[in-house]
Amino acid sequence: MRAVPYDMRMTLHQYILRRSRIVWITGGSGVLTVWIVAARAPKDSLWALAASVAPPLFFLVVANFSGGLRCPRCHARLGYLDVGSRRFGRAPRPGLDRCLNCGLHPREEIPTGS
């Protein structure tokens, strides 16, 4: 069996958080950059329009990214996973607590190739 680096061993939940964190950081820094440039630009420039369009556009990209995540085991679309059910003390909704194709649970470690 091949040794796997410590950061490669993660659960599905950690994988989703890592992927979404990348989108939030890059998109958030892009919106912040547009706001900073727009604050220094004249009021009637296109930067004012860009500053008002950037946040909704960013949230549309995040929503699209979240719905398009794929399972690392079987590469099927995950859609929405109910990963917060334990935190809020409610029972997981059927079909939303694991990959519908292969059954990988969010708290289960992602299998790696040998």
The pLDDT score that the predictor gives to residue 93 is 56
Strand partners, 70: 77
Of 32-46, 61-75, 92-106, the range with the lowest mean pLDDT is: 92-106
The pLDDT score that the predictor gives to residue 101 is 83
For the chain, what are the domain ranges?
Answer: 1-114
The pLDDT score that the predictor gives to residue 99 is 80
pLDDT higher than 50, residue 3: no
Half-sphere exposure of 105 (CA within 13 A, CB side): 7
The CA angle 99-103-105, to the nearest 5 degrees, is 75
pLDDT higher than 60, residue 94: no
Query: What beta strand segments (E) does the chain contain?
Result: none
Q: What tens digit of pLDDT does each residue of 69-92 get?
A: 788 888 888 766 555 555 566 555
Cβ-in-10-Å burial (0-12, 13-18, 19+) of 85 comes to middle
Q: Which residue has the higher pLDDT, 93 or 35?
A: 35
